[in-house]
Amino acid sequence: MLKRLNLIILICFLATILPQTQPVLAVDNLAQQLNQLLNEDPDLKGAIAGISIRNATNGEVIYDHLGDVRLRPASNMKLFTAAAALSVLGEDYTFKTEVLTDGTIKKKTLQGDLYVKGKGDPTLLKEDFDKMAADLKTMGIQKITGHLIGDDTWYDDIRYSVDLPWSDEQTYYGAQISALTASPTHDYDSGSVMIEVKPGNHEGDKGEVAVTPNTDFVKIINQTATVAKDGKKKLTYEREHAKNTITITGTLPVKSKGEKEWIGVWEPTRYALALFKQSLAEQGIQLSGKVKTGTTPTEAKIVHTHSSIKLSELLVPFMKLSNNGHAETLVKEMGRVVKGEGSWEKGLEVMEAELAKFGINTETLVLRDGSGISHVNLVPSSQLSQLLVAVQQQSWFPAFLHSLPVAGASEKMEGGSLRNRMKGPDVRGKVFAKTGTISTVSTISGYVTTKSGQTLIFSIMLNNLMEDAKGKKVEDKLISIIASH
């Protein structure tokens, strides 16, 4: 009995002088659970998992599994792009679009050319072109004798990032990048149109097709059919290469809910010009000349300037909805602002230099674009977790954190790509993270508040998956384990 009492006293004494034993045991238990899942989950058979978990307070690595192995990051690349853009451009940065002329106004006629000089704004809507046209009308202009000229020379003329798959050419997430472009909605999918297809009133009728913005820049070939109520809803969209002819085929059951699809256009500069020409006509302004592209002469005078929303606001659709166009635009903008050249090459040089300031070992990275759509991009999970530690010290961190999707939050501009994931009480509203998906790849990196109230930083990169959707289920299980500690 005395020996047992002495043992209890000894244990109590050790507990007072070795307070670190409890967290060590907790970390050991965390590692054990994570390792068990990685070893036993059938969806990871033949796949590669790179995982890095850190203490958000001091950056200490508390778990690592192949954390230094370079893997394809998919849209987790946008974490690098967003942080670099905030650091280089600032959270109050705006994109400008200028309307200029080298002519003079006489008797309600602009004698000369009208120029639209784009400077990268991915948020231009038809309503913005309406405002430009209305301002010209207020100036007394009813006729333009010259041409309407679009100037997109703020960036280079390379429209696609180096590794964009040819199959993504018509998609909104693979849309062409131009310094002068337009978006269909407030999601700001620049360089695309939104197509909505609804069933006809009766079986056998063609589906009803509407394009946003309402423009004849794209030609729709409607080969859809309305079928019986119990029929299949299956639509396909095909945009002809190097043209803006979109063929829609398939079936919709009568009285069924319509379907929306976003299609990237060919040549976004001319798309923006077509919308502006339409706005001029709607304001009763007659254009005598042609619509074409060119360079604004130095003597041209600005008659209207449009400013975009601030970068801190743009980050919300950019990150929540994982907008590839925004990422590539920001890369080119960083190149233009810092090195005087709006190209992927110069923009990525700027991005790499900026990342080094956050303690990122850039020698471990392969950067090919800003969105992560390339399968050649390579990033270790340990470098993503390092970034998430470092940015917490920046004045713009609240804007960065606010832009991340929130687990289980149903509103689109809050939950984003996580609005239908992780809805359990242990993780709902407690995970702020960027998702990523390309074929055979699923990734997620961000912040999680654990059961004890501690904030942990994690980066989970799953490559060589048979199905990327199954990878997301694995990620959710891993994050749930992390959140329980």
CA distance 154 to 392: 33
pLDDT band at 15 (very low <50, low <70, confident <90, very high): very low
Our answer to whether residue 423 is catalytic in this structure is no
Q: Judge whether 224 and 134 are in contact, CB under 8 Å.
A: no
DSSP code of 309? -
CA distance 103 to 324: 38
CA distance 29 to 45: 23
Average pLDDT over residues 150-176: 97
Q: What pLDDT does 25 receive?
A: 54
Among 3.40.50.11030, 1.10.10.350, 3.50.80.20, 3.20.20.70, what is the CATH number of 96-159+267-309? 3.50.80.20
CA distance 110 to 118: 21
pLDDT band at 19 (very low <50, low <70, confident <90, very high): very low
CA distance 348 to 361: 15
Of 52, 78, 382, 417, the active-site residue reads 78
Q: Judge whether 389 and 457 are in contact, CB under 8 Å.
A: yes
Q: Where in the chain is the domain with CATH 3.50.80.20?
A: 96-159+267-309
The Cα angle at residue 389 between residues 476 and 321, in degrees rounded to 5? 50
Q: For residue range 273-330, list pLDDT tens digits in order.
A: 999 999 999 999 999 999 999 999 999 999 999 999 999 999 999 999 999 999 999 9
pLDDT band at 12 (very low <50, low <70, confident <90, very high): very low
Q: Where in the chain is the domain with CATH 3.40.710.10?
A: 20-92+312-483
Of 161, 308, 322, 385, the active-site residue reads 322
Among 1.20.120.1630, 3.30.70.980, 3.40.710.10, 3.90.1300.10, what is the CATH number of 20-92+312-483? 3.40.710.10
CA distance 449 to 196: 40
Decide if pLDDT at 17 tops 80.
no
CA distance 52 to 70: 12
Cα distances (angstroms) measured from residue 411 to each of 42, 408, 415: 33, 9, 6
Decide if pLDDT at 3 tops 50.
no
Average pLDDT over residues 21-25: 47
Q: For residue range 68-99, list pLDDT tens digits in order.
A: 999 999 999 999 999 999 999 999 999 999 99
Of 52, 75, 381, 445, the active-site residue reads 75
Q: Judge whether 237 and 263 are in contact, CB under 8 Å.
A: yes
Our answer to whether residue 78 is catalytic in this structure is yes
Our answer to whether residue 322 is catalytic in this structure is yes
pTM above 0.85, yes or no: yes
